[in-house]
Amino acid sequence: MLQRILVLFILMITSTSLINAQDNKMFQTVEPLKATLVKTDSSKNFCNVCGMHLTKYYKTNHTTTFKNDKKEQYCSIRCQAYVHNDHALKIKQIDVVDTKSLKLIDSKNAIYVVGSSKKGTMSPVSKYAFGNKEDALDFQKKFGGDIHSFEETLKIAKASLSKDTIAVTKKRVSMARKGKKIYLSMCKQDKVPEFNSIGESKQYIIDNNLCKSLKPKMQQAVSIYLYDPLLAANKNKMLKVQKDEKCPVCGMFVAKYPKWIAQIEVAQKHSHYFDGVKDMMKFYFNPSKFKHNHKKIDISKILVTDYYSLNSINAKDAYYVIGSNIYGPMGEELIPFKTKKEASDFSKSHFGKKILKFEDIKEDLLY
């Protein structure tokens, strides 16, 4: 009798756990075997734009076949809209997951329910597609929302893209900060390129075995950090520059390179901004060459951007690594660090040739 009661109790607990698991499972999520993934490379499991796992958000997945027959897959119509803005003329066909059958269907024939009570993907306004109007109306009856065509839904997604991106970016800040810590402790400090998306960043990490074995959330955090290191920075401690400010040495727009900004402030409270220490030092040694007549005695402050924290630091107190395999906007660079240890660690990882103090930098070195 006692045995029977124990068995019934275990069954009751197991059933309750299964029910809770079902309740906690996201509506968008499906079992991997029920998902259709169209990519065949190392990025097949995650969104090409945001890097999120496709099976986890499968019911809002969209796929794009480009005119060169390359296929990409996105977690949502929000990420699809992001791509469509730049590459509409290159797209041959867009398919979407039928929320009911889980099959991929031509988006042009799909009926969307927009704004239901079911959670959205990458947007607070949900957008779910169906292969026929009856299924869409049934879903609408249960969960609310409005009926739209693909073209209408894509237009809605594009209209809210900026707002959605701001909200998503705010959420990514903490992930980027975690990603930075993971990257510095568990990943190879190799030269990495600039990435156009988090998905591109994640694929690079996988293809190049950049990190030790990472759990999915850790890998996503590193991907976010490498895609946009500025998310992990303290904006209040960074050098700020106007968008139209040009480097007086090379003429490039400095704001495009926030990780490399350097500044010389003269006594008259006028500042010059540079896209790297190398150009700043060229100006420092010979401002007349760049159509300015400042003397060194006129300079009241010199600031550079610390490579790791992206904080502004006093240029005369910094340590500079030269000859490394990391390049700035103008090629080989003097890379600044707040401490000698950080400069030394970086130099060892990146084949630096020498560590210099400010007073050790000579003009002929810059050319």
Q: Are strands 299-305 and 262-266 parallel, antiparallel or unpaired?
A: antiparallel
pLDDT at 197: 93
Q: Binning pLDDT at 50, 70 and 90, where does residue 11 land?
A: very low
Sheet holding 319-322, edge to edge: 335-337, 319-322, 354-357
Indicate whether 10 pLDDT > 70.
no
pTM of the model: 0.76
What one-character-per-residue DSSP string does 20-53 give?
A: HHHHHS-TT---GGG------STTTTB-TTT--B
Q: Is the pLDDT of residue 292 over 90?
A: no
Mind listing the pLDDT tens digit for each residue in 75-133? 999 999 999 998 999 999 999 999 999 999 999 999 999 999 999 999 999 999 999 99
Euclidean distance between CA atoms 142 and 324, whole angstroms:
61
- What pLDDT, on the 0 to 100 scale, is given for residue 216? 93
In 3D space, the residue among 286, 304, 303, 302 whose CA is nearest the CA of residue 294 turns out to be: 286
SS3 (DSSP) at 98: coil
Q: Tens of pLDDT along 163-212? A: 998 889 989 999 999 999 999 999 987 778 889 899 999 999 999 999 99
Distance separating alpha carbons of residues 277 and 275, to the nearest angstrom: 7
> 53 - beta bridge partners?
46
Q: Please determine, for residue 5, whether its predicted confidence score (pLDDT) is greater than 50.
A: no
Of the listed ranges 10-24, 46-60, 71-85, the one predicted with least confidence: 10-24
Q: Does pLDDT of 8 surpass 90?
A: no
**In this predicted structure, what is the pLDDT of residue 16?**
39
Structure confidence at residue 270 (pLDDT): 87
C-beta of residue 104 within 8 angstroms of C-beta of residue 95 = yes
215 by DSSP, 3-state: which? coil
Distance CA 71, CA 93 (A): 10
| DSSP per-residue letters across 256-282 | G-TTT-EEEEETTS-EEEESSHHHHHH
For the beta sheet containing 271-274, the strands, ordered from the edge strand earlier in sequence to the opposite edge, are 271-274, 262-266, 299-305, 312-314
- The model's pLDDT over 312-336, given as tens digits with 9 standing for 90+, comes to 999 999 999 999 988 899 999 999 9
Give the residue carrying structure tokens 């390179």. Answer: 257
Strands (E), 41-197: 62-66, 71-74, 91-97, 104-106, 111-114, 127-130, 146-148
The band of 2, judged by pLDDT with boundaries at 50, 70 and 90, is: very low
Q: pLDDT digits over 15-40, tens only? A: 434 333 343 579 999 999 999 999 99
Name 232's Cβ contacts closer than 8 Å, sequence gap at least 6. 173, 176, 177, 179, 180, 225
How far apart are the C-alpha atoms of 29 and 32, rounded to whole Å? 9
Q: Give the chain's end-to-end CA distance (angstroms, integer).
A: 90
pLDDT above 70 (res 6)? no
Parallel, antiparallel or unpaired: strands 71-74 and 62-66: antiparallel
**Ranges of each domain in the chain:** 32-159, 173-232, 235-366
- Specify the DSSP class assigned to residue 170: H
pLDDT at 29: 97
In terms of pLDDT, which residue wins out, 298 or 264?
A: 264
pLDDT at position 262: 97
